[in-house]
Amino acid sequence: MLSMKQSVAVATVVFCLGSPYRASGDSPVPASRARLARLPLGSVTAQGWLKTQLQRNKAGMGGHLDELEPEMIGKPFVDRNHRSPVCPGWSGEISGTYWTGLVQLAFTLDDDQLKSKARKWVAATLALQEEDGYLGSYRKTENRLEDYSAWSANWCYRALLHWYDATGDEAVLRAVHRGLLWFVKHWDGDHKTSYAGPVLMESMIAVYLKTGDARLYHWCLDYLRWLDRHDQFHHGMASLQRVALEYNEDHVVAFGENVKHPALIYAAGGPPEYLAASRHGIEQVMAKCWQCTGAPASNFEYLSPPSAVHVTEYCNCSTYLNTFSWMAAITGDACYGDFMERILFNAAQAARKKDERAIAYMSSPNQVQATMDSCLFSNDNSFEVYAPAVHVACCPVQSVRIYPEYVRGLCMRDEAENLFLPAYGPCAAQFVSAAGPRVTIREETAYPFDETVTLRIRASTPWRRSLMLKIPAWCKTFSVKLNGVEVRGPVAASGYLPVQHAWHDDQVTIRLEMAPKVVAVDDVYFAKESLRAVECGPLVFALRLPEHWTAIKGTPLTALPKEWSWYEVSYVTKDKPAPPPFYALSLDELARKPIVKRRCESAYPWDESPLKLVVPMHRSTHGYPPLRDAQKHTLMGYGNPVTADAASELVELVPIGCTTLRLTCFPVCK
């Protein structure tokens, strides 16, 4: 535990573009071609329910994973004597991902204790940098030229660059720069790997844009060209430019990381077709793998077709949210903000224990069990159970970074300092404009549980810039008022509505009408007649099933303290082995009877949703096998449409993020 004396506040430097640090002989800092940039870490902080969630995360996994798995998560990078039971690249990945999340959690929550914890890690990591610049978790006796060496170093560097972003500590940028140059030297020419190693490009481009050291940029360019000749994992330009990807050919996280690299190189000055390739790669995965929850299907972690009973690995949620956040910045297109909201509020939140003390590695839209043997798409037991740190702990640590990264992506700005809101949520943004005024914007909202967002803007002297408000693609009716007066004007092709004003002490009210709707859902087992899901705004709704939670010992690498546990969650019990009743939607009836919104008081939205939907439904035969059991069933659907009771009943649906066990995709009545 940190003593009070240690946990002093870390000063957050609010600084403008540019940085005094240059490596000797470097050219001037190049201009990024990204349309937008995020504000420095710490400029946007969580408020409202987002703040409550980050506080729960601090008390839960976010604040404690390094203590629960010290050898794998706490020590790599700061203690080369750590006893890692897995390969060094794996523990390096998992540890570095945790610290990437922790640093961002500390500053988006503006929490001194967490900042102090992060600072200790940063100092200890820098202290182990070697003479030749090597900065990473590999010991001298381990193979620093293997694929995972770059992948694991990438996570360490992301964490350090977030720290630099928040504090402006030049020693940290200098250390990462030297670490990257070690890879430039040792991974030149054909000394490259084609799977996870290229991911180091994110840090290479970030540091190039801060230092102007062209060696970093050229290493990335060379790497992408090299990948076209060594493209067995389909991360090269030629693969991204194909009409379609193939199932099983790539790991879904590796794809999600790699797909943004051409766009990053474009942002640093590369050719425009690079940006087009990244856009197209995202279209490829969305066309063939996308679930109704806004995330890819990843059975066995590989590219899979969508289905109500196929699973998403938790890592996908954080990886793709980060990729969307980069694409929102580089392209300036609002659609990527929509994708960020959808993957976070649905796929990601549906796999979190609501007290933030466990997550599921794998989860699906229709889920009746989450037990040691319920997952049919894994190489091991335990993939669907809830645990703070399953032994393959990539997903638990990824769950720490996703909410802070979302908060950071709520505000971006362009070179002229117009402020863009690519996504919504309760937050506060503070910055000093290059034009002089200090600006504070408070975003007050229960979004996505409410359709109204209020912005309170204060500027120390009038601030003459545009606020660029995203109008989500799902929103057909909206209104924007500035100090009570309706704002008219076309929404730009990018999806943003500009609001111009000399901001001083003003209020903007945005109303994004959320109309419940029934949508067809892609499902590989139901090619003739689609299953249906119910949406409202960015939220997908589900029938929450009763949950029976059972604490189990599990197989953690390090025994857990008594207040932590693994859990099995099931609808069925020994006493009640029958599967849940099944429901179908009558499309004729829904055309006549609208879905009704129900509002209620809520202290915390994922415990008790402030917004529920009441939907007429019919008890029916099962659309597919109700329980997953590899011994007894194929997964082929029984058919759709289904035979259903004539009488309908009113069924309450809640956001899928409020559920652990659920039915999200429904057949239709004959």
Give the binding site for Zn ion (CB under 5 A): 313, 315, 394-395
| Closer of 24 and 379 to Zn ion (Cβ) | 379
| Closer of 329 and 359 to Zn ion (Cβ) | 359
The CB-of-394 to Zn ion minimum distance in angstroms stands at: 3
The CB-of-389 to Zn ion minimum distance in angstroms stands at: 12
The CB-of-601 to Zn ion minimum distance in angstroms stands at: 36
Nearest-angstrom CA–CA distance, 71 and 559:
12
| Closer of 186 and 391 to Zn ion (Cβ) | 391
Query: CA angle, corner 193, sides to 188 and 195, nearest 5?
Result: 145
Task: Identify the helix (H) or strand (E) that includes residue 96.
Answer: helix 88-108
The CB-of-314 to Zn ion minimum distance in angstroms stands at: 6
| Closer of 92 and 637 to Zn ion (Cβ) | 92
| Closer of 94 and 166 to Zn ion (Cβ) | 94
Nearest-angstrom CA–CA distance, 222 and 267:
16
| Closer of 315 and 661 to Zn ion (Cβ) | 315
Contact, 452 vs 510, CB < 8 A?
yes
| Single-letter amino acid, residue 214 | A
Nearest-angstrom CA–CA distance, 122 and 166:
13
For the record, the structure tokens of 628 come out as 């997953």
- Label residues 606-623 b or e (16+ Cβ within 10 Å = b): beebbbbbbbbbbebebb
CB atoms within 10 A of CB 489: 10
The CB-of-276 to Zn ion minimum distance in angstroms stands at: 29
The CB-of-555 to Zn ion minimum distance in angstroms stands at: 16
The CB-of-163 to Zn ion minimum distance in angstroms stands at: 24
Nearest-angstrom CA–CA distance, 392 and 554:
12
Task: Identify the helix (H) or strand (E) that includes residue 387.
Answer: strand 386-387
The CB-of-313 to Zn ion minimum distance in angstroms stands at: 5
- Tallying the residues shown for the chain, one arrives at 670
Alpha carbon dihedral 17, 21, 26, 30, in 10-degree steps, equals: -10
Give 584's contacts (C-beta < 8 A, 6+ positions apart). Answer: 617, 618, 619, 620, 623, 641, 642, 644, 666, 667, 668, 669
The CB-of-384 to Zn ion minimum distance in angstroms stands at: 13
| Closer of 297 and 453 to Zn ion (Cβ) | 297
| Closer of 107 and 383 to Zn ion (Cβ) | 383
The label of the residue with tokens 């096998």 reads: 625
Mapping DSSP to helix (H, G, I), strand (E, B) and coil, where does residue 663 land?
strand
Which residue has its beta carbon closest to Zn ion? 315
| Closer of 394 and 480 to Zn ion (Cβ) | 394
Mapping DSSP to helix (H, G, I), strand (E, B) and coil, where does residue 561 land?
coil
The CB-of-259 to Zn ion minimum distance in angstroms stands at: 17
Contact, 183 vs 189, CB < 8 A?
no
Task: Identify the helix (H) or strand (E) that includes residue 533.
Answer: strand 531-536
| Closer of 316 and 346 to Zn ion (Cβ) | 316
Nearest-angstrom CA–CA distance, 51 and 45:
8
The label of the residue with tokens 């990244």 reads: 278
| Closer of 275 and 376 to Zn ion (Cβ) | 376
The secondary structure of the chain in percent helix, strand, coil, rounded to multiples of 5, reads 35, 20, 45
| Closer of 329 and 395 to Zn ion (Cβ) | 395
The CB-of-360 to Zn ion minimum distance in angstroms stands at: 11
Q: For residue 224, with 0-12 CB atoms within 10 Å meaning exposed, 13-18 middle and 19 or more buried, which class applies?
A: buried
The CB-of-654 to Zn ion minimum distance in angstroms stands at: 26
